[in-house]
Structure 1
Amino acid sequence: MRDLEIAHVEDEVIDPAWRDGDVQPITGELGAEISGVDLGADLDDATIAEIRQALLEHGVIFFRDQEFDAEQHKRLARRFGEIFVHPNYAGTQADPEIVMIRREPGDTRVVGEDWHTDTTMMPKPPMGAILYAIEVPPFGGDTLFANQYLAYETLSDGMKRLIDGLRAIHSDRLVAGPQSRASVGRSTKARHDDAWRETVSTHPMAIRHPETGRKALFVNVSYTVGIEGLAEDESRPLLDFLMEHGNRPEFTCRFRWTQGAVAFWDNRCVKHLAINDAGPFRRVMRRVQIA
């Protein structure tokens, strides 16, 4: 497969051949907003292929003014792969295939408030997620996304050679379990019971995207806890540098939510962060992850 490139604003943008839709880039490096597509409909294979192509080209894609229920949400997700059941939320939700993410007035923390790639403690993390806005505040509650292709590609050749030979250790102990403080102050709780058991996996610090062939930086604050073969005091400075580097403003886009808006991101090359700045207002989202 050819190596896909994300268009810069000064370049000609080549969009998929939407029959009734339109693709507008959010920034020169990441993200696009798509109109003219009803995600609640039973979409044909050609439209699904176009959505997938847009996702691969832009990293994260957005849709507005959508209306679909939980079953339609899951049907849409299954067009891109099997549904991923999150081990740290399955026991806290009515439907294990869906995570309802609520931010209530008075919450001092929100789900995903640190820069992260979803669920990287798993041997095979999910390829992506589809997040739907049910109730949004009149201001605040935006989500930031960061392009990890660019995070890798802008490293020096020496740093690339260094991390290309290293694997990072990923664990969920910072975000779940009885010792974690991540759920304190927020309405949506991860599992923290005594029966919880830590999940640990290792992944290359720079992964090659299985569909585009491009390499992406693959470390994040929420789950990456060390580097295989290195002591904590040896690995921490390198991880801190790479995590900060991956969040550079020029790699990012910011999405302001409206009711009925949808974000679909590629978890293999994009990090994200939720902002807790909605004041005295609720924010209710529904998420389905794709294996």
Structure 2
Amino acid sequence: MTITQSTKVGSPPLRDHRVPGDTLVEGPRTVRRLAPGQVDKPYQLFELAPLGPLLGAEIRGLDLSRPLTPALREELHRALLEWKVLFFRAQRLSSRAQRDFARTWGELETNPFLATGDDSEVARFDRNALPTFENVWHADTTFRENPSLGAVLQLHQLPPAGGDTMWADMGAAYDNLPPEVRERVDGLRAVHDFLPGFARFAAPEQLARFQEEFPPVEHPVVRVHPETGRRTLFVNVSFTTRIVGLEREESDRLLRQLFQQAHLPEVQVRYRWRPGDIAFWDNRATQHYAVNDYAPHRRVAERVAIVGDRPY
């Protein structure tokens, strides 16, 4: 950003006052909720209350412990694609009911880096202090060839205050890149690895085994959402290590700029939990951040993840 120098006669020259251009600058933001071709029409089987103009909506009038009819599943899926993260208040589902709901969207994913609840398909997050790995902007399991389609998270125990979760719309994050940066990153590929996110939590012998099981993978820097066709920024601090074909310094500089895009408040929604609440998000379209501001109090959540497809 450069301010035009005054041309008034006798005005002294201005000192160099440019801001380094690899982070964020002020100005208008592009806020576009739907991809081209998506039709914004009312919902017939439940009430939807937006939490913001871009992403995040509360679904009212449903009991998720009951099986979904095909029509209800179809309408919820449309809401997921249009709002990227859906919230359901006070559901208080059993682990089995939570799994059954998630299975409506496909095969379930297990994650050997996470503690489990009563079932291997249910990840359990029981936190009351550091260390933690959720309080950074990230998409889940991008170190896999087929990262998660999405996840269903339920909060069981909350601190007296704090413990919110935030989501960012990575389609809108892509839209807000400068045109020359969008042109540059379209077609680039990046390496994703589990090590930055999980290495510090595993013993050396575990790391050796996991490195064989989860070798680095390449994904496009900008993926096309397989259902909406929207271009979304698909790099994250937890798992993206470098951009293929660039020197390390150039790769690091570009990744810093791309990572910063999730930090725009205009592309975010923040959710304040109550016990028994459910969040269901599209991992292909969003990143999320679990705010770690509640120590020494306890926060307990369980998550079921759904297997996705290979990004293209």
TM-score by length of 2: 0.81
- Quick check: 2:150–2:306 contact (8 Å CA) kept in 1? yes
Partners of 1:219 and 1:256 lie apart in 2 by 26
The one-letter code of the counterpart of 2:43 is: P
Q: 1:194 to 1:155 in 2, by over 3 A?
A: closer
- Quick check: 1:135–1:282 contact (8 Å CA) kept in 2? yes
**How far 1:192 sits from its partner (Å)?**
4.7
Partners of 2:96 and 2:294 lie apart in 1 by 28
Partners of 1:94 and 1:37 lie apart in 2 by 25
**How far 1:196 sits from its partner (Å)?**
2.6
- Quick check: 2:95–2:118 contact (8 Å CA) kept in 1? no
Partner of 2:215 in structure 1? 199
Partner of 1:44 in structure 2? 69
Q: 1:219 to 1:278 in 2, by over 3 A?
A: same
| 1:98-177 matches, cutoff 5 A | 98-104=122-128, 107-176=129-198
Partners of 1:162 and 1:88 lie apart in 2 by 34
**How far 1:109 sits from its partner (Å)?**
3.2
Partner of 1:269 in structure 2? 285
Partners of 1:47 and 1:235 lie apart in 2 by 45
Give 3-state SS (helix, strand or coil) of 1:149's partner.
helix
The one-letter code of the counterpart of 1:80 is: W
- Quick check: 1:89–1:96 contact (8 Å CA) kept in 2? no
Partners of 1:150 and 1:278 lie apart in 2 by 30
The one-letter code of the counterpart of 1:150 is: A
Q: Which moved more, 1:268-277 or 1:193-202?
A: 193-202
Q: 1:192 to 1:35 in 2, by over 3 A?
A: farther
- Quick check: 1:15–1:54 contact (8 Å CA) kept in 2? no
- Quick check: 2:92–2:275 contact (8 Å CA) kept in 1? no
- Structure 2 residue 114 is the aligned partner of structure 1 residue 81: no
- Quick check: 2:114–2:124 contact (8 Å CA) kept in 1? no
**How far 1:93 sits from its partner (Å)?**
5.7
Instruction: Structure 1 unaligned segments of length 5 or more: list them.
Output: 8-12
Partner of residue 43 from structure 2, selected from 16, 21, 34:
16
**How far 1:246 sits from its partner (Å)?**
2.6
Partners of 2:73 and 2:256 lie apart in 1 by 38
Q: Would you identify which runs of 4 or more consecutive aligned residues in structure 1 move more than 6 Å? A: none
- Quick check: 2:137–2:262 contact (8 Å CA) kept in 1? no
The one-letter code of the counterpart of 2:124 is: M
After superposition, the C-alpha distances for 1:44-70 in whole angstroms (9 at most, x for unaligned) are 111111111111000111010102111
Partners of 1:192 and 1:37 lie apart in 2 by 42
Partners of 1:193 and 1:160 lie apart in 2 by 36
Instruction: Structure 2 unaligned segments of length 5 or more: list them.
Output: 1-31, 35-39, 308-312
CA root-mean-square deviation: 2.1
**How far 1:156 sits from its partner (Å)?**
2.3
Higher alpha-carbon Rg:
2
| 1:47-66 matches, cutoff 5 A | 47-66=72-91
| 1:209-248 matches, cutoff 5 A | 209-248=225-264
Q: What is the total number of aligned residue pairs between the two structures?
A: 269
- Structure 2 residue 55 is the aligned partner of structure 1 residue 30: yes
Partner of residue 271 from structure 2, selected from 255, 263, 266:
255
Partner of 2:13 in structure 1? none
**How far 1:146 sits from its partner (Å)?**
0.3
- Quick check: 1:217–1:246 contact (8 Å CA) kept in 2? no
Partners of 2:70 and 2:79 lie apart in 1 by 14
Partner of 1:10 in structure 2? none
**How far 1:248 sits from its partner (Å)?**
0.7
Give 3-state SS (helix, strand or coil) of 1:196's partner.
helix
The one-letter code of the counterpart of 1:101 is: F
